[in-house]
Structure 1
Amino acid sequence: MRTIAMIRRILTELLRDKRTLALMFAAPLLILTLLYFLFQGAGNTSADLAVQSVDDDLVSAMQVDGLHIHKIPERQTTDQSSNYTERIIRDNDYAGFLCQNDGSLHLTLAGADEAQSGLILESLKAAQAELSGKAASATIASQAAALTQLESTVAALTSRLQTLSGGRTGTSTGLPQASIDAKGGEPTNRPSMATTPSSVTVDYLYGSKHSTFFDTLVPIMMGFVIFFFVFLISGISLLHERATGTLARLLATPIRRHEIVNGYPIGYGIVAIVQTAVVVGYTIVVFKTQILGNVWNVLLLNLMIAGTALTLGLLVSAFAATEFQMMQFIPIVVIPQIFFSGIIPVASMPGWLRTIAHVTPLYWGSRAMSDVVEKGANLAQIAPNLGVLLTFILVFLGLNILAMRKYRRI
């Protein structure tokens, strides 16, 4: 009976907590619906490839769904350094650059997206195999035609010899001389086939051929880990101070709301700075992550992501009554952002999902992080993303000041 009473009490409390009920049933449905639309176009990988001085037959054979080929005019400079190729890729955001020189191919991959690199490599291998097969078929057909012609010539010679052996005379064999080469009977009208370049050298601007999908996700996961834990710790800490009465005692003093709102981010921000340095250092030292850009830009971006998570966590905690309710906001506020951070290409999403992605902080933070780590973007190039993150911080701070009104007793 006591067990039944406990069960009845728990169910009664849950039924009274409308917010918990709504999150328990609505949040899973929201995540499942979001995943359904996200993965509708997740397999549609697209890549842009620049080609220069490459045989037209090979370029045509490389045309596959999702691969957009851009022909680059031959360079007018004698500079043979890799800076030219890197500049072409960076300035146009290409996934690779393919050039041909003296019958050999040189492919340079950006390496920022394993799926795009794989698409280019597979299309190049398939094109080479297709052209090699066509060349082999043409060679076989040419040899078959030559053999047929040779058989006809032999048959004509045999017939002439039989005629001569039968007592007939003649000074000319009447053989079709145009069909016999002067060097010994090979036909002169054999078709020629252009050789397909088979030697391919592959270089990577970021990573190598041994890179894994995790190497592509490192910049994204670095920002997400910082965002998630700063959001959770800051929100629960403020909620704990409300539950224990500390916040109420602060509000009873002459301190102003904006001073409290500014004090919390600065205090927790110091901890976030240390956490950011630890996460970035661990990623570089343990995972051997290659950073093409400036490591200080990586730290700056992570600090801005942490600031956004901090102010958002403080804001969300104003709408939670318990730590359990704070945890329930994670499926609504945090989990959708990881899908918009670049794990699934935003370009492959439906239009309305791309619009939602642009209003999430992690989209701007992870995008800039990937540009710095994988493409070597400088401070000026990531400045727009930093500006968007700063706007999120200021907006969340303003909303925090408004949310504090409900806790000041007038």
Structure 2
Amino acid sequence: MNGIKAIIERLYKSMLKNVKIPVLMILVPLAVLTLMYLVFDVNNNTSIRLGVPDTTNTTFIEGMPDNVEVITYELAPVLETLLDADDLDAFVTIADKSLNITYKNEDPSKTPAVQRAVEKGVQAIENERLERVISALPEEAVLSEMEIETSYLYGHSESTFFEKMFPILTGLLIFFFALLFTSIMLFRERTAGTAERILSTSVRRSGIILGYLTGFGLFMTLQTAIIVLYSIYLLDMNVTGSLAFVFVINILLALSAAAAGIFVSMLANTEFQLMIIILLITVPQIFLSGLIPFVHIGDWFNGIGYGFPLRYAGEALTEVIIKGNGWPYIWNELLALMLFITGFTVLAILKMKKYRRT
């Protein structure tokens, strides 16, 4: 125990000598999170420019959503040049019983939005026809108006894409910077000869690894608390479930990253190797953590995500923050994160045999 305490004290003295690094490790994730908030904190009403002939039924145009700008054309245009020249997303022509749409499709994400907008316009025409039919019926045959009530299982009408990304993005930032900070700090310990001096003492290999993990873990707990509180109280992110579970999940994720960082620092012989290994661990998790919808990822590749801690943390955070669920829904993810911490710690202890056989 005294050996572990001594390693923790020495680690924090080293951090205080170069205080810029731990400060940046706190400020940079906050800056990235703020930037993502500013970029994605908008409703999903994509701005659309739609071209139509000037003979188009005005009811169709008036039925368009507010985010659609309709431009009318007197003469039949050449669509191959018009869509690019006038920056249109689509051109729509309506005959008696047919509708023709030419999509620009430069941005495929806008095409479904155009489809929905056109459907609303067509629905407006159908509603107008229905009203004419109803008005022609005897007064006693007129149907009563239907009242429509809208509710949301998760979120609300003003929910933004950032709110969907927020749980996973927070976990990704915590994991990446914890992994980066831990691996670089310990790699410098090795290259500076400090680790070798510790290895020459009577402290057991397990004690050395646990000392580093505890020291880094305390700092990661502080970093995690700052990121979570900053997101909730300054970026005004809504947490539906228990805030305590949010802290527990993120702290376990940070500890798994710290344990992985200790192991990674022992694998690399140069800084270049260190950065390559960090990227190999982090980049796949960007695609497999849930930031990109799983329906857009092949099943065989999607399954690889369960070999990374961020997948479990992302699912647990989504359950708590968005769905408001608790222990029965996240206990298996928490268990997986603890297994990752244990596994990386054991691997680091075994790897230390390369430097000392005691």
TM-score by structure 2 length? 0.62
2:332 equivalent in structure 1: 384
What amino acid is the match of 2:164? T
Task: Give yes or no for contact 1:301–1:365 (8 Å, CA) kept in 2.
Answer: yes
**2:352 equivalent to 1:408:** no
2:87 equivalent in structure 1: none
2:250 equivalent in structure 1: 302
TM-superposed deviation, 1:352:
1.1
TM-superposed deviation, 1:380:
2.3
1:315 equivalent in structure 2: 263
**2:162 equivalent to 1:214:** yes
Larger Rg computed on CA atoms: 1
Question: Per-residue displacement from partner, 1:176-201 (whole Å, max 9, x unpaired)?
Answer: xxxxxxxxxxxx998x9996966544
Q: Which whole-Å CA distance do the structure 2 matches of 1:305 and 1:336 have between them?
A: 16
1:257 equivalent in structure 2: 205
1:291 match: secondary structure: coil
**2:206 equivalent to 1:232:** no
Sort the Cα spacing of 1:385 and 1:197 in 2 relative to 1 into closer, same or farther, 3 A.
farther
Sort the Cα spacing of 1:189 and 1:401 in 2 relative to 1 into closer, same or farther, 3 A.
closer
Question: Per-residue displacement from partner, 1:66-89 (whole Å, max 9, x unpaired)?
Answer: xxxxxxxxxxxxxxxxxxxxxxxx
Task: Give yes or no for contact 1:223–1:305 (8 Å, CA) kept in 2.
Answer: yes
Q: Which whole-Å CA distance do the structure 1 matches of 2:232 and 2:127 have between them?
A: 48
Q: Which whole-Å CA distance do the structure 1 matches of 2:242 and 2:261 have between them?
A: 29
Aligned length: 249
Sort the Cα spacing of 1:121 and 1:328 in 2 relative to 1 into closer, same or farther, 3 A.
closer
2:353 match: secondary structure: helix
Q: Which whole-Å CA distance do the structure 2 matches of 1:201 and 1:189 have between them?
A: 28
**2:304 equivalent to 1:363:** no
**2:349 equivalent to 1:349:** no
Q: Which whole-Å CA distance do the structure 1 matches of 2:141 and 2:297 have between them?
A: 44
TM-superposed deviation, 1:126:
7.3
Matched residues, percent identical?
33
2:269 match: secondary structure: coil
1:342 match: secondary structure: coil
TM-superposed deviation, 1:124:
8.9
Which of the numbers 251, 259, 274 marks the counterpart of 2:222? 274
Sort the Cα spacing of 1:196 and 1:374 in 2 relative to 1 into closer, same or farther, 3 A.
farther
Q: Which whole-Å CA distance do the structure 2 matches of 1:317 and 1:195 have between them?
A: 74
1:343 match: secondary structure: coil
Unaligned runs of 5+ in 2: 1-109
Q: Which whole-Å CA distance do the structure 1 matches of 2:147 and 2:119 have between them?
A: 13
TM-superposed deviation, 1:206:
4.3
TM-superposed deviation, 1:321:
1.7
Task: Give yes or no for contact 2:179–2:278 (8 Å, CA) kept in 1.
Answer: no
2:241 equivalent in structure 1: 293
What amino acid is the match of 1:257? R
Q: Which whole-Å CA distance do the structure 1 matches of 2:196 and 2:141 have between them?
A: 86
Task: Give yes or no for contact 1:128–1:198 (8 Å, CA) kept in 2.
Answer: no
TM-superposed deviation, 1:225:
1.1
Q: Which whole-Å CA distance do the structure 1 matches of 2:245 and 2:175 have between them?
A: 17
Sort the Cα spacing of 1:373 and 1:246 in 2 relative to 1 into closer, same or farther, 3 A.
same
TM-superposed deviation, 1:269:
0.6
1:334 match: secondary structure: helix
**2:321 equivalent to 1:373:** yes
Sort the Cα spacing of 1:140 and 1:284 in 2 relative to 1 into closer, same or farther, 3 A.
closer
Q: Which whole-Å CA distance do the structure 2 matches of 1:276 and 1:318 have between them?
A: 25
Question: Per-residue displacement from partner, 1:189-230 (whole Å, max 9, x unpaired)?
Answer: 98x999696654434454433332112211111111111111
Q: Which whole-Å CA distance do the structure 2 matches of 1:119 and 1:202 have between them?
A: 25
TM-superposed deviation, 1:248:
1.1
Sort the Cα spacing of 1:139 and 1:292 in 2 relative to 1 into closer, same or farther, 3 A.
closer
Q: Which whole-Å CA distance do the structure 2 matches of 1:218 and 1:331 have between them?
A: 22
State which drifts further: 384-393 or 133-142. Answer: 133-142
Task: Give yes or no for contact 1:206–1:290 (8 Å, CA) kept in 2.
Answer: no
TM-superposed deviation, 1:346:
1.9
Q: Which whole-Å CA distance do the structure 1 matches of 2:165 and 2:202 have between them?
A: 48
Task: Give yes or no for contact 2:179–2:260 (8 Å, CA) kept in 1.
Answer: yes
What amino acid is the match of 2:341? I
Sort the Cα spacing of 1:357 and 1:253 in 2 relative to 1 into closer, same or farther, 3 A.
same
TM-superposed deviation, 1:405:
0.9
1:329 equivalent in structure 2: 277
TM-superposed deviation, 1:136:
4.0
Sort the Cα spacing of 1:366 and 1:142 in 2 relative to 1 into closer, same or farther, 3 A.
closer
1:248 equivalent in structure 2: 196
1:216 match: secondary structure: helix
Paired residues for 1:1-400 under 5 Å: 133-134=125-126, 136-137=128-129, 200-400=148-348
Sort the Cα spacing of 1:330 and 1:200 in 2 relative to 1 into closer, same or farther, 3 A.
farther
TM-superposed deviation, 1:353:
0.8
Sort the Cα spacing of 1:142 and 1:194 in 2 relative to 1 into closer, same or farther, 3 A.
closer
Unaligned runs of 5+ in 1: 1-117, 144-187
Q: Which whole-Å CA distance do the structure 2 matches of 1:362 and 1:256 have between them?
A: 31
1:293 match: secondary structure: coil
